[in-house]
Amino acid sequence: MIKIKHTYINILLSIVIITLSSCTQIQKLKKSSEDGVIAAIGDEKLYYSDIDKLLPNNITKEDSIKFVESYIKQWATDILIYQKAEENILNKKEINELVAAYKKNLIIYYYKQNMVNTHVQSPTDAEIRNYYEENKEHFLLSSPAIKGIIITMPKEVPKYNKLKNKLTDKDIDIEYIEKYAIRYAYSYQIFLNNWILKENISELENTNIHLDHKGLYQVTDSNTITLLQVTDLTEKGLISPYEIAKEEARNMLLHSKQVNYINSIGENIFNYAIKHNQLIIYTNKEDNEQENLSDSTKYHNN
């Protein structure tokens, strides 16, 4: 182990601080082809460029000094603790085995991810729709889904009853409602042809309104009144309409394709190894008769 006195580190820190303090303006440490060493512990060296790339832009002189001092102290402390630990640790073999296993798993993971990103295509709309139709029972609503119109406005507005009548007419007068909302409402949404989850309607947040039928709902507070005309409704817990479930179905299908592809990687590599005699499986059986073994697998007796 390389031993180092604390005074050596302190001297290095002092040199760094004095050097930095003498600069009239510190934005970045100077980086040149002759990259200087700013601190060292035995063979371990910290270069100006190592800190230069970490210094934030537009940093002040005082903050630069604090940053560099803190960074060098942390860098040195990490190395010294590691050296002390390496000298005194007893279970080095176990640690090396864990490191090797982690490295192997990490390499396999990144290889699989790279293969997936290269070879697995995003599902098409037709594939998503087909997946949804075949797995509808997995797409259940977390809250009611509705179609309709919602308008939030001041409590005192003209022609309020006429607006309610327009909302509840069999043939809804969209043009009138939209003109009215633009003129008097704080906010409004018209979604007669699109499903929306109740939990995604901001006007209904912090309300106890229970949506269980088609028709007109009214929510009031101290300053506003909200009218919600529900023209279609699917209750919580029922199968989600496709347009709401589509994104979830896409993600599930993509995940399924990725898992299947990853599994196929292992199968293909294994089969290739057997076919080309890269894999040898040994057996302790004394019986040397190999007639019943697969032609694609080679066994050797120990």
- 210-247 residue pLDDT tens: 898 999 999 998 889 999 999 999 999 999 999 999 99
CA nearest to 235, candidates 149, 148, 168, 142: 142
Q: How far is CA 167 from the centre of its chain?
A: 42
Residue 222 lies in a domain: yes
Instruction: Give the total number of structural domains in the chain.
Output: 3
Same-domain pairing of 81 and 157? no
Confidence (pLDDT) at 166: 94
Confidence (pLDDT) at 10: 46
Residue 42 lies in a domain: yes
Of 25, 59, 88, the position where a domain reaches its end is 88
- 246-255 residue pLDDT tens: 999 999 999 9
CA 257 – CA 237 distance, rounded (Å): 27
C-alpha dihedral (265, 269, 275, 281), degrees to nearest 10: -120
Of 88, 123, 158, the position where a domain reaches its end is 88
Most confident residue range from 39-48, 62-71, 197-206, 251-260: 251-260
Which structural domain range is residue 162 located in?
Answer: 141-234
- What length is written for the chain? 302
Of 180, 215, 234, the position where a domain reaches its end is 234
Same-domain pairing of 290 and 207? no
Which residues, 6+ apart, have CB-to-CB distance to 123 below 8 Å?
131, 250, 253, 254, 257
CA nearest to 169, candidates 227, 229, 213: 229
Residue 104 lies in a domain: no
Same-domain pairing of 218 and 182? yes
